[in-house]
Structure 1
């Protein structure tokens, strides 16, 4: 009964070095996206694509350096849960965009 509070969840704790690297990468990615918009280096379409790539990269940085997700067997359920969350988000966002596009197309045809 005394060991009920010492359940190993498989989550690793990061080192200070890991957190600093993650923080620096996050700042660099944020400044890059901000600079891309403020300096108008690219056209609108290219800027949106570049910002989306930077955002996806920043998500990966947060998952690896701050949430300590990796492909080890102890992290398997965390990775599966994250994958399921991404799948649901893609379905919801994609479905919303499709519905809004169809509504806009039908409203403009009249």
Structure 2
């Protein structure tokens, strides 16, 4: 018995929650996308309920809860829609995702750094007023 068959027989095959043994069939694919859609809608509704109802969570904890829901939303999209798993056939997808995250982080950090240092390069207001006269 091959190693892959042995893993499938024991239920240890590496598959994402959105991918069962029937993920190659149309019904299995639709079922995976439907589960992902339901989870994404549930997480989106939860974030709207969280913000819309005051007193549900302690005030300063709301941003933390929203961040947790956003991370869960990203996980649902990665697994159910982008099919990013830990399987050996997904190495290129994982590397592409990591590279995209790196580029986004560099753009974000660079933008924040530039905005934080804008005042350093600007002319003082009184000097600018003197030039306009």
TM-score computed with the length of structure 1 as normaliser: 0.72
Query: Alpha-carbon deviation of 1:78?
Result: 0.6
Residue in structure 1 matched with residue 50 of structure 2 by the alignment:
36
The DSSP-based 3-state class of the residue aligned with 2:117 is helix
The size of the alignment, in residue pairs, is 97
Q: For residues 89-108 of structure 1, what are the alpha-carbon distances to aligned partners after superposition, in whole Å with 9 as ceiling and x for unaligned? A: 1121122123223336888x
Relative contact order higher in (CA < 8 Å, ≥ 6 apart) = 1
What is the aligned counterpart of 1:22 among 36, 45, 49? 36
Q: For residues 2-28 of structure 1, what are the alpha-carbon distances to aligned partners after superposition, in whole Å with 9 as ceiling and x for unaligned? A: xxxxxxxxxx75622211211111011
Counting only pairs closer than 5 Å after superposition, residues 32-71 of structure 1 correspond to structure 2 as: 32-40=46-54, 41=56, 42-43=58-59, 45-71=60-86
Q: Which structure features the higher share of helix residues?
A: 1
More divergent stretch after superposition (12-21 vs 89-98): 12-21
Highest CA radius of gyration, 1 or 2? 2
* Structure 2 spans left out of the alignment, 5+ residues: 1-22, 126-133
In 2: Cα distance, 1:53 partner to 1:105 partner: 36
Report the aligned-residue RMSD.
2.5
* Structure 1 spans left out of the alignment, 5+ residues: 1-11
